[in-house]
């Protein structure tokens, strides 16, 4: 059974853009929920959360009017991109949080909105791409300046231990993976977003295999950890992916890239409110610089 362009029920560019905004709101709690899961190894956590995320696809298919039978016709290139974006990104992101302070790793990883704005310039105009300009470059440099400030914000003695530096590098790698996956999704606009169900299932199985090879099983420490895992699978690592796929394929990619910079600000506030980090004027300035960088790039 194939599909035709436009088969998604009731889709408009505005609705798709709003779906992407919904994903942004859900991701604001990703870092805090990940910390709340405790000392669970990253691949084990990825497998558990994405198993729940796969079940979300069943409900998404019914609500959106799409059919899971479309999974049979998803091209291999789309499968490869989906696993690259979901499995690689989250494994790297979780490992970054395990090694580096949560606030710093979170903000570095959230350079992906700025990279989306830049990478969108590489797309042809028919797919919503815009030519790369000096404003894009200036915006990228301003955002990078904010990242540098993140490394020294919120503590008298910045953490430059070997583990922390490795975490910062992993967080930067996660930013590249997610931004490139998001922009490349535009090349598969004809693939319905319900295909994310298969990507989640493949990610869960791949993460489980890596867990068996590289890690030792750790049971969640108490009810709070179990609730955090369930919440991850239902929200930031579940519904958010279906909404984001819809937004990236059919919405305003540039506006979503710019709107995504609400995520690190909200994420930082959530972490601080839960006592998992300390806000400081320098950290606030770093967040402002990252937002200004995206705004400058977006004016192109």
Q: Which pLDDT does position 154 carry in this prediction?
A: 52
Identify the pLDDT of residue 117.
Answer: 79
At residue 4, the pLDDT reads: 41
Q: What pLDDT was estimated at residue 299?
A: 65
Of 72, 66, 69, 59, nearest to 9 (Cα)?
Answer: 66
Residues 199 and 187: their CA atoms lie apart, in Å, by 16
pLDDT tens, position by position, 113-153: 888 878 887 777 666 666 667 777 787 788 778 777 766 66
> In 3-state terms, what secondary structure has residue 38?
coil
Residue 241: the pLDDT is 95
DSSP string, the chain: ----TT-STT--HHHHHHHHHHHHHHHTTHHHHHHHT-S--HHHHHHHHHHHHHHHHHHHHHHHT--GGGGGG--HHHHHHHHIIIIIHHHHHHHHHHHS-HHHHHHHHTTHHHHHHHHHTTS-GGGT-----HHHHHHHHHHHHHHHHHTTTT-SS---SHHHHHHHHHHHHHHHHHHHHHHHGGGGTTS-GGGHHHHHHHHHHHHHHHHHHH-------SHHHHHHHHHHHHIIIIIHHHHHHHHHHHS-HHHHHHHTTHHHHHHHHHHHHTTSS---HHHHHHHHHHHHHHHHHHT-
Phi, psi of 276 (to 5 degrees): -95, 5
pLDDT at 5: 41
Is there a contact between 193 and 185 (Cβ–Cβ < 8 Å)?
A: no
Q: Which residues does the chain have with pLDDT short of 50?
A: 1-10
């Amino acid at each position: 059974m194939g599909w035709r362009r436009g088969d998604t029920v009731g889709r408009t560019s505005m609705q798709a853009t709003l779906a992407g905004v919904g994903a942004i709101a859900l991701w604001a709690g990703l870092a805090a929920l990940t910390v709340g899961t405790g000392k669970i190894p990253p691949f084990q956590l990825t497998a558990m959360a994405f198993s729940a995320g796969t079940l979300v696809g069943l409900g998404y298919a019914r609500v959106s009017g799409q059919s899971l039978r479309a999974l049979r016709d998803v091209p291999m290139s789309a499968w490869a991109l989906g696993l690259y974006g979901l499995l690689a990104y989250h494994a790297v992101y979780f490992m970054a949080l395990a090694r580096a302070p949560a606030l710093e790793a979170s903000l570095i990883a959230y350079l992906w909105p700025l990279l989306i704005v830049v990478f969108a310039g590489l797309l042809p105009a028919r797919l919503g791409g815009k030519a790369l300009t000096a404003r894009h470059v200036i915006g990228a440099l301003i955002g990078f300046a904010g990242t540098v400030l993140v490394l020294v914000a919120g503590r008298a003695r910045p953490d430059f231990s070997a583990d922390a530096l490795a975490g910062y590098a992993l967080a930067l790698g996660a930013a590249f993976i997610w931004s490139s996956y998001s922009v490349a999704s535009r090349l598969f606009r004809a693939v319905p977003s319900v295909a994310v169900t298969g990507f989640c299932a493949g990610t869960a199985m791949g993460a489980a295999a890596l867990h068996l090879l590289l890690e030792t099983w750790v049971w969640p420490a108490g009810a709070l950890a179990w609730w955090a895992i369930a919440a991850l699978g239902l929200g930031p690592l579940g519904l958010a992916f279906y909404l984001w796929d819809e937004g990236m394929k059919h919405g305003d990619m540039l506006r979503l890239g710019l709107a995504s910079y609400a995520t690190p600000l909200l994420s930082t506030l959530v972490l601080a409110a839960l006592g998992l980090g300390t806000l400081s004027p320098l950290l606030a300035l770093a967040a402002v610089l990252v937002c200004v960088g995206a705004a400058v790039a977006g004016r192109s």
